[in-house]
């Protein structure tokens, strides 16, 4: 034990300082968050723009990015940075196209969650079913996403701090669950903002580490110019790290870019950020600065793995090419600087916990407000308490899945993103922009998106060789959007009445809208 503490003391102190700060922030907001459902779920729509901007950035970029995506560039080279560009494009689209309208309509309809937005927007005898169906889709996709985040964090703790994988997964999941239960949306948003600042700095620091290790830019590029390290298929990489498309096809880059990037326009944990933003000025700030924070961080992180080739031996590279989730941990071990590792571990903890906290809150609200409360209405004072209990039980399920993960970090994250994009985007976008969108179109679109995702991934993609690089997001999103349009157009008698549409689209005066 003494040897262990001597070896990891600085890193452990850094993590302890970070954990203490997060606990303190959650405790500060405990009383305010417990006032009522609106305070606990949405922080009473009073979050400043800079907090929402940093929270959006830190929630979207999770451990699956800092560990999984950084590691993938060890396999695919600097071409992997193009995935980051797609994500930034979708960030811009999300804030320009979705944000203002989503915030305004949620205020007018008094919506507290994304599923209840569907019910209130597509007002009909079927809209309750839309709300429940969307909640089950959230719980399904979220399970994959949270497992990916927890797996990434656990791998890092196992590699860097020599913590047992199961214990590491338990620590990251249940500690995050604890402060989320206490602080609600207030705690989530303000801790996410602090985590966002830390993550931004750590992304830049991690990018610098490989150059620091080898002695600068020129020595690094000389090493990458022609690598004898083996690729996944066994042949020498050669110039693959620096040649676009050599290690990864453009179709695969596009697939990961779309499947995960599109979460920003469809994932409830990100869409709900628009609900809580304070005012028009706050929205403008977030529109400008969120893509900046995201873009700089992503371009740094997505190149790290390629540069780690300059730090490792032939034998180490042969092992890492098939275990890319371990690349970042190996980078820290090779550097052997406990202070730098400690600071970076704080950022990586932040990346995992910021995303986990948001998803835990979404899962709890979906279970209680959008399923349980619909099935058996309950008094308002019971909703918050039952939401907290549901969070804990859901985290237990995630922990079990994390012990036996069904895929790698990147694949689990991209599958979850594909489910959200195909199942929710047509219904959300149609609700915001198409007066003629109907409840039948929404239901049919969600079902189509979910079914095609599952069939393509588990029945086609990995069983038909010629289709292996066609990610499920392409057929699922295309079919889902077409189904929404076709079914809505074929059911014009189910369009909500003009008085309701006037409320939705702002023809009636509503206070507090942007």
Note down the domain range covering 96: 2-405
Q: What angle do CA 366, 502, 100 make, to 5 degrees?
A: 55
Nearest partner of 485 among 431, 440, 452, 441, judged by Cα:
441
Q: For tokens 């979906």, name the residue.
A: 366
The DSSP 8-state label assigned to residue 362 in this structure reads: H
Q: What angle do CA 254, 319, 230 make, to 5 degrees?
A: 65
Query: What is the distance between the alpha carbons of residues 30 and 141, in angstroms, rounded to a whole number?
Result: 29
In a domain, 453, yes or no: no
In a domain, 466, yes or no: no
Q: Residue 26 is encoded by which pair of tokens? A: 């959650």
Low-confidence ranges of the chain (pLDDT < 70): 1, 30-36, 42-44, 507-514
Q: For tokens 């929710």, name the residue.
A: 424
Q: Residue 304 is encoded by which pair of tokens? A: 């790290």
Query: What is the distance between the alpha carbons of residues 509 and 173, in angstroms, rounded to a whole number?
Result: 44
In a domain, 124, yes or no: yes
Sign of CA dihedral 104, 110, 112, 117: negative
Q: Residue 416 is encoded by which pair of tokens? A: 């979850």
- Alpha-helical (H) ranges within 368-379 are 373-375
443 alpha carbon, distance to own chain's centre: 24
Instruction: Note the pLDDT of residue 514.
Output: 44
- Over residues 103-147, the pLDDT tens digits come to 999 999 988 889 999 999 998 888 889 999 999 999 999 999 899
In a domain, 97, yes or no: yes
- pTM assigned to the model: 0.84
Beta bridge partners of 238: 227
Q: What angle do CA 395, 177, 142 make, to 5 degrees?
A: 45
Please give the tally of structural domains in the chain.
1
In a domain, 271, yes or no: yes
Concatenated DSSP letters for 81-102? HHHHHHHHHHHHHIIIIIHHHH
Beta bridge partners of 227: 238
Please name the residues in contact with 323: beta carbons below 8 A apart, sequence gap of 6 or more.
Answer: none
CB 14 within 8 A of CB 346: yes
Q: Residue 88 is encoded by which pair of tokens? A: 């930034």
In a domain, 484, yes or no: no
Residue 179, domain CATH: 1.20.1730.10
In a domain, 412, yes or no: no
In a domain, 465, yes or no: no
């Amino acid at each position: 034990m003494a040897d262990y503490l001597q070896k990891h003391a600085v890193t452990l102190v850094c993590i302890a300082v970070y954990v203490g700060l997060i606990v303190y922030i959650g405790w500060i907001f405990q009383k305010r968050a417990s006032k009522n459902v609106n305070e606990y779920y949405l922080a009473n729509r009073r979050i400043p723009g800079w907090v929402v901007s940093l929270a959006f950035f830190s929630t979207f970029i999770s451990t699956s990015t800092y560990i999984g995506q950084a590691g993938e560039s060890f396999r695919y080279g600097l071409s992997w940075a193009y995935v980051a560009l797609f994500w930034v494009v979708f960030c811009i689209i999300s804030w320009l196209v979705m944000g203002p309208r989503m915030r305004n309509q949620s205020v007018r309809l008094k919506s507290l969650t994304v599923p209840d937005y569907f019910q209130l927007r597509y007002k009909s005898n079927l809209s309750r079913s839309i709300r429940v169906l969307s909640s089950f889709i959230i719980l399904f996709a979220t399970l994959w996403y949270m497992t990916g985040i927890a797996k990434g964090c656990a791998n890092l703790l196992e590699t860097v701090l020599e913590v047992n994988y199961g214990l590491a997964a338990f620590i990251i999941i249940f500690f995050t669950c604890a402060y989320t239960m206490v602080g609600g949306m207030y705690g989530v948003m303000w801790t996410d903002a602090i985590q966002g600042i830390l993550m931004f700095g750590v992304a830049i620091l991690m990018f610098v580490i490989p150059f620091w290790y080898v002695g600068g830019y020129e020595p690094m590029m000389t090493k990458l110019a022609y690598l004898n390290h083996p690729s996944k298929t066994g042949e020498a990489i050669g110039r693959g790290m620096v040649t676009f498309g050599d290690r990864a096809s453009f179709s695969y880059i596009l697939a990961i870019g779309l499947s995960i990037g599109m979460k920003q326009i469809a994932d409830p944990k990100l869409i709900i950020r628009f609900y809580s933003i304070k005012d028009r000025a706050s929205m403008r700030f977030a529109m400008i600065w969120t893509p900046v924070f995201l873009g700089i961080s992503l371009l740094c992180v997505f190149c790290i793995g390629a540069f780690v080739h300059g730090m490792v031996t032939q034998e180490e590279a042969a092992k890492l090419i098939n275990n890319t989730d371990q690349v970042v941990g190996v980078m820290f071990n090779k550097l052997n600087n406990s202070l730098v590792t400690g600071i970076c571990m704080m950022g990586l903890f932040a990346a995992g916990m910021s995303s986990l906290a948001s998803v835990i809150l979404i899962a709890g609200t979906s279970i209680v407000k959008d399923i349980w409360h619909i099935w058996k209405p309950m008094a308002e004072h019971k909703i918050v308490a039952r939401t907290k209990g549901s969070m804990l039980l859901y985290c237990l399920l995630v922990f079990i899945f994390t012990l036996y993960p069904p895929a790698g970090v990147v694949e689990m994250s991209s599958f979850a993103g594909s489910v959200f994009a195909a199942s929710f985007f047509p219904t959300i976008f149609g609700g915001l922009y198409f007066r003629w969108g109907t409840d039948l179109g929404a239901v049919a679109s969600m079902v189509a998106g979910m079914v095609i995702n599952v069939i393509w991934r588990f029945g086609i993609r990995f069983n038909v060789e010629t289709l292996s690089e066609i990610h499920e997001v392409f057929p699922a999103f295309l079919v889902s959007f077409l189904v929404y349009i076709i079914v809505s157009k074929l059911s014009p008698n189910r369009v909500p009445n003009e008085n309701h549409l006037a409320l939705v689209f702002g023809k009636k005066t509503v206070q507090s809208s942007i």
